Chain A
Amino acid sequence: MSDINKGDSILEIRGLAVEVQGKRILEGLDLTVRAGEVHAIMGPNGAGKSTLSQVLAGRPDYDVKAGTVRYLGEDLLALAAEERARRGLFLGFQYPVEIPGVNNVYLLKAALNARRRQLGQPEVDAFEFLGLVRDKMRLMQMDESFLSRGVNEGFSGGEKKRNEILQMTVLEPILAILDETDSGLDIDALKVVAHGVNSLKRDDRAIVLVTHYQRLLDHIVPDHVHVLAGGRILKSGDASLALELERRGYDWVRAEAAAA
């Protein structure tokens, strides 16, 4: 279906430096994400995890001062936010916004059709679309009433996160970046969300989880774990690194990096 094969480069970040309101947040960040992989980016508060997510998604007001980002071989930073989305880059927001009066389904259909136009596929009609969404809603254990509600309007924190993952499963992105998707979820909701994310895993896609906690990684097992601190990746490892971080915190990573 796609011409992306397992192991192909999806995202290549080199020497990325970013300022937000004049403050340097990222400094010399390198990261490579290949098709078929799940990456977890962990790190202390204020390390720049959310900044990285937002910059990759194309948020205005984030000044890229240096570095390059290639996405599927293209210069990602030259693309507008909506162009990135249409090329299959999805950001699951840490704090999804409410858009009162705008129907969930309406936004989701517009989003899917924007993606399909980019792929040269015909737009989905309402009937076909509803069938698709209902399937995914079952997967996410979401109530039917969701269909008639406004975008995140009056949703609980958990419902908002579920909605993000629902959108992701409908849009089937090539690169999904999930920013603190586990925060604010109880254990049952966490399992549902993890199930949704796992359903997306495929050899021609990649997932980047940005998270504080190891507990999400019990349910979505990462291939690579990175520690982001002081604006760059200080250490990378496999799933066992997350367990070690859970046990020992971040200070030893910083000390190690300082000594190196």
Chain B
Amino acid sequence: MASTPTDLDALVAQKYEHGFVTDIDSDTVPPGLDEDVIRMISRKKGEPRFLLDWRLKSYRHWQTMREPHWAHVKYPPIDYQAISYYSAPKQNSDGPKSLADVDPKLLATYAKLGVPLHERARLAGVAVDAVFDSVSVATTFKSRLAEAGVIFCPFSDAVREHPALLEQYLGSVVPPTDNFYAALNSAVFTDGSFVYIPPGVRCPMELSTYFRINAAKTGQFERTLIIADAGSHVSYLEGCTAPMRDENQLHAAVVELVALDDSSIKYSTVQNWYPGDEHGVGGIYNFVTKRGECRGRNARISWTQVETGSAITWKYPSCVLTGDNSVGEFYSVAVANHYQQADTGTKMIHIGRNTRSTIVSKGISAGHAQNTYRGLVKVLPSADGARNYTQCDSLLMGARSGAHTFPYVEVRNPTATVEHEATTSKIGEDQLFYCLQRGLSAEDAVNMIVSGFCKSVFKELPMEFAVEAQNLLAVSLEGAVG
């Protein structure tokens, strides 16, 4: 019987579209890490003294720490001395002053990735910061944002232009001592985006950062800091890709969000790092610390993530709900195909009174992939009337994939309400056959079923990106069924 799908995970032949390498002269430091390398990074970036000290302190602390191994993932030991901690496309001066100064090869790279940097060709209403290996190569719409008082710039620029804000907020949500990778990042971070929304301002457009790892044997350690001052609102999107390479590459980012009184931050991620090939060779190790603090009353932080890439994902975007009545949300779709491993989830820490949190996690496993949800809901004694709702759904495709759920709940206030719902389902032969019998192709049927499964998360994404996410999902699962 021609193409009838008797084996759900047989159609495994996913293509990674962003696997090309840009041939560009790079200024890459030799592999290895010591205090001199950190001093060199700091010098290259023209950083103030406090930041260098902060880096060195982080580095010394990192040396006392051990790599964590509690996650449900397996990988060979990482040699941190074999990684290059700085790589930048060669440029004439310190950095591009405008898009006209950006190497056309870089512009072509981003065009190929579907991230237009030319403002006239941009997605309507989205300002983009593009980070290539260790440095930011272009930020669009700076002037229009500046009119609104919004600061959106590469982290390196913020270091020079807004040192006071940086000194006040850097590390205030994720301290360098937080965990092994956060400490490493604090020591060696190279670039990323910095956003400040002044009081009462609704950011006039979506902000977006596009991360690209290009050079071989490099790590990407970006740092993003977003501050929403009282009564302000911002929506921010992050996208990521990398070339196909046989060796694994480390990506250890830190993202900190600070939401003050009555402000809101919506942070969306479409993560499509190279996942490795169908035999599990290569791919990005994505060990990321993302945390937001609702520091003010009535503040709101919402994380939405669509995770389709990386060989290994270790990531728990979290909310610390300090301000009374503040709200934390986490909407996640994590797809793992072939030999990908994902250990992802969130932490909701309720400190303020009447704080609320919502967790909706959708895990999809295909091929030999292992997909784990790990979440913590913690209600401290101060959090009177705190409420949490958690929903974790797992979808399995084929017989060799796995789904795991580790929900931790810690409640130390009797007035709190915590709800948890979890389901695990197999993408049904029945569902698939039903769609085939209605004339749909196997591929369309799977996409439709999976999109339906993820619907409640996709609707949280900004419109333009919901479509992109849906397409990405289709590519990631291409060949997962049939």
Nearest Cβ distance between residue A87 and chain B, in whole angstroms? 9
Quick check: is B433 within 8 A (CB to CB) of the other chain? yes
Given contacts A60-B6, A106-B448, contact A101 B436 (CB under 8 A): no
When distances are taken between beta carbons in the complex, the residues of chain B under 8 Å from A125 are none
Contact for B449 among A78, A79, A99, CB less than 8 A: A99
- Counting contact residues on chain A (CB < 8 A from B), the size range is 35 or more
Chain A proximity mask over B425-459: 1 for CB below 8 Å, otherwise 0: 00011110111111111101000110111111000
Is B124 part of the binding interface, using a Cβ–Cβ cutoff of 8 Å? no
Query: In the bound complex, how far is the Cα of B454 from the Cα of A61, in angstroms?
Result: 29
Interface string of B182-207 (1 = CB under 8 A from A): 00000000000000000000000000
Number of interface residues of B (CB under 8 A): 29
CB distance from B437 to the nearest CB of A (A): 5
Contact assessment for B428 and A97 in the assembled complex, using a CB-CB cutoff below 8 Å: yes
The smallest beta-carbon distance between A194 and chain B, in angstroms, is 22
Task: Kindly state the separation between the CA atoms of A81 and B441 in the bound complex, as whole angstroms.
Answer: 9
Q: B434–A80 contact, CB under 8 A?
A: no
Q: Of A57, A79, A107, which one neighbours B435 at CB under 8 angstroms?
A: A107
Candidates A61, A85, A108, A171; contact of B436 at CB < 8 Å? A85
Contact: A77 with B439, CB < 8 Å?
A: no
Tell me which residues across on chain B come within 8 A of A118, comparing CB atoms: 439
Most A CB contacts (10 A, CB to CB) among B430, B431, B435 go to B435
Measured in the bound complex, the distance between the Cα atoms of B369 and A211 in whole Å is 43
Q: Is B434 touching A97 in the complex (CB atoms < 8 A)?
A: yes
- B434 contacts A100, CB within 8 Å? no
Given A78-B2, A97-B431, A150–B452 Cβ distance below 8 Å? yes
Q: Which residue of A lies closest to B448 (CB)?
A: A102
Contact of A83 among B2, B6, B444, B449 (CB under 8 A): B2
- Are A167 and B438 also in contact (CB < 8 A) when A60-B5, A97-B431, A99-B431 are? yes
A86 and B439 form a contact (CB under 8 A): yes
Residues of B within 8 A of A (CB): 1-6, 428-431, 433-442, 444, 448-449, 451-456
Listed by A's residue number, 8 A-B pairs whose Cβ atoms lie within 8 Å are: A58-B437, A78-B1, A80-B436, A93-B437, A97-B430, A101-B453, A101-B455, A111-B439
4 pairs of A and B residues whose beta carbons are closest in the complex: A101-B452, A114-B439, A102-B452, A111-B438
Chain A positions near chain B (C-beta within 8 angstroms): 57-61, 77-86, 90-91, 93, 96-97, 99-102, 106-108, 110-111, 114-115, 118, 150-151, 167, 171
